Amino acid sequence: MHSLRPALLAVLVTLTACQTPAAPPAPPSATAAVSQPRPVATAVQAERVRLAWADAGVLTPFRVSTAGPGGATLISLVYDTLTWKDETGIIPWLATRWTIGPDATTYTFSIAPNVVWHDGRPLTAADVAFTFDTYRQTPYRWMTTEMVARAEATSPSEVTIILKRPFAAFLEDIAGVAPIIPKHVWESVTDPRTYDGPNATIGSGPFVLAEYRPTEGSYRLTANRRYFRGEVVVGEFQSLNIPTDTRLAALQQGRIDLINSADASIVDILRGDARLAIYESDPLSIVRLAVNTERAPLNRREVRQAIMYAIDRATIAEVVTKGAPVVGSAGVIPPSSPWYNPEVRHYPYDPEAARALLRGEQLTIELLADPSYREPELMAPMLQAVGITLVIKRADSATRTALLREGNFQLAEVQHIGVGGDPDFLRRWYAGEEANDFAQGSIFTNAEFDQLAREAAATVDVQQRRAIVNRIQALLAEELPTIVLYHRRFYWAYDRTVFAPVTTWGGLMNGIPFPHNKLAFLRRG
């Protein structure tokens, strides 16, 4: 792999849409105790690594839970994808190289030789073609592959994927996310959504699913000793279902090796424990207000801008996360993303500017939020000071999503990840192509935005695409169809004797700020 890499990266730079693999800037440390993400992490050899998470369902692409990123991440340890991401960008994985046809709808991948499934059968281009054909009938829930028209294996080592339309995010969002499944297992399965055979979880990834305890939601993955991308240096990876309230104590007692928290106070709590370290993820999680731009008074841009000026977002971020604030970019894409445009309009905390925009008008606006969110109470007095009375309406997540789907809201607070990867997510939000809760609240009709978003999706030239994405961010910052409060980090506490985190360029797969990239368990050349 080592010898291949420079050449393959060169191919990437010239041919792919999502390159310019500049390493994201290292996030500033909240305290001296925080370890800096390294450019290239060296995997720690260990008997086992135990992650505290929740049940993520049966580990097949058709039954895994998509309620949160845990399922897709576990899937990525058992299965492989055509491309992958390391610290610097998209890298070859099952595919050793690829070419893109002149109309950017034809991608031809060369499949690595000597890749075997967990049952010892060889992985070939036929498996890849079969996978994409299967996903057209029965989608992989984590990522849509709807733009794939068909896939053809032209030889045992070459597969051509033909898209319905040019899609610049293909290499990152589809080829780098869709798990390749074995044809010999799934071709005889009538309904993959219910299939539960003993071979259902055969993949080609660095770990083999040795045991899943559905009642407890616990997984035991063992190292794949025949892995084609290098030695797996961790004997076992376990994902254990542990209530969030007891995870920290479990880590301190040595019952678990890796936990996460959105609360920076974990840094102080663990300070002085030589065995444990903290890894700050890039701030790829976002806390924002979805705005119903079709309902008065939020259909007026100056009201949305006034809200942006009226909220002291740095203070809110600091109070809630207890860490150094990363004030939200009005252009939505976070500063640590390779696609961030720093030139967008900025909105400092400026109540006077807000009052000037409102011209003395008194408004009442309803905000929909989860019962656990603390931001609404902090925002309310700030908005009251400029003449906006905030009526806070609390609802659980399913209720909130239903209200967003129906457009039955004015403002809605949402917190989510998925903004660090390819910027095509912006198009999908506002084009109504996604059905997750934050995308449901994306109500914004703007011809210029639609045009730019379509152009960006179809432009594979990196520089051209960057220019378009910059314009999209500038437009969003001006129009504010969503009000970004702050970007949020995750604090991963881990046992340094068994694990070393990996910072993935733009987040794991489609922007997941998790440190257990499969590279964290491989000896790299």
Partner 1 sequence: MIRLAVRTMILLAAIVVLNFLIPRLLPGDPLDALAAGEHESGLAPLSAAARENLRQFYGLDRDLVGQFTHYLSSLARGDLGWSFAKRQPVRDLLAARLPWTLGLVGAAALSAALLGTALGLAAAWWGGRVDHALVSLASSIEAIPDFLIGIGFLLVFAVGLRWFPLSGGRTAFEAGAPAAIDTLWHLTLPYLALTLSSFAIFLLLTRHSTAETTRAPFVAVARAKGLRPRTVALRHVLPNALPPIANLLALRLGAVLSGAIVIERVYGVPGLGLLAFEAIRERDYPVLQSVFLLTGAAVVLATAAVDAILRAVRPYDAR
Instruction: Return the half-sphere exposure (C-beta side, CA atoms, 13 A cut-off) of residue 39.
Output: 4
Decide if residue 416 touches partner 1 (CB under 8 A).
yes
What's the min distance (Å) between Cβ of 139 and partner 1? Answer: 5
Dist. CA 149–CA 194, nearest whole Å: 25
Q: Which of 165, 193, 225, 374 binds partner 1 (CB under 8 A)?
A: 193
Binders of partner 1 in range 313-372 (CB under 8 A): none
Our CB check for partner 1 shows the closer of 68 and 230 to be 68
For residue 259, the cross-strand partners are 493
416 by Cβ neighbours in 10 Å (0-12 / 13-18 / 19+) ranks as middle
Q: Which of 415, 442, 459, 517 binds partner 1 (CB under 8 A)?
A: 415
Dist. CA 286–CA 296, nearest whole Å: 25
Binders of partner 1 in range 122-151 (CB under 8 A): 138-139, 141-144, 146
Q: Whole-angstrom distance between the N-terminal and C-terminal Cα of the chain?
A: 7
Decide if residue 63 touches partner 1 (CB under 8 A).
yes
Q: Which of 27, 61, 69, 166 binds partner 1 (CB under 8 A)?
A: 69
| Tokens, residue 95 | 């595919």
> What sign has the CA pseudo-torsion 66, 67, 68, 73?
negative
- Contact region with partner 1 (CB under 8 A), list: 6-14, 49-57, 324-332, 477-485: 49-57
Give the distance between the most distant pair of CA atoms in the chain: 73
For residue 482, the cross-strand partners are 290
Taking residues 392 to 411 in sequence order and writing x for each that binds partner 1 by CB under 8 A, - otherwise, the string is: ---xxxxxxxxx-x------
| Tokens, residue 417 | 């990840």
The answer to whether 307 touches 453, Cβ cutoff 8 Å, is no
Binders of partner 1 in range 235-254 (CB under 8 A): 236, 238, 240-243, 245-246, 249-250, 253
Our CB check for partner 1 shows the closer of 38 and 213 to be 213
Q: H-helix or E-strand containing 400?
A: helix 397-405
Our CB check for partner 1 shows the closer of 105 and 238 to be 238
Position 263, amino acid: D
What's the min distance (Å) between Cβ of 302 and partner 1? Answer: 29
- Contact region with partner 1 (CB under 8 A), list: 68-76, 120-128, 224-232, 263-271: 68-76
Our CB check for partner 1 shows the closer of 285 and 473 to be 285
Q: Is the peptide bond before 297 cis (omega within 30 degrees of 0)?
A: yes
What's the min distance (Å) between Cβ of 157 and partner 1? Answer: 30
Our CB check for partner 1 shows the closer of 153 and 202 to be 202
What's the min distance (Å) between Cβ of 348 and partner 1? Answer: 28
- Contact region with partner 1 (CB under 8 A), list: 11-19, 37-45, 58-66, 180-188: 58-66
Neighbours of 118 (CB within 10 A): 21
How large is the C-alpha radius of gyration of the chain?
23
Our CB check for partner 1 shows the closer of 247 and 465 to be 247
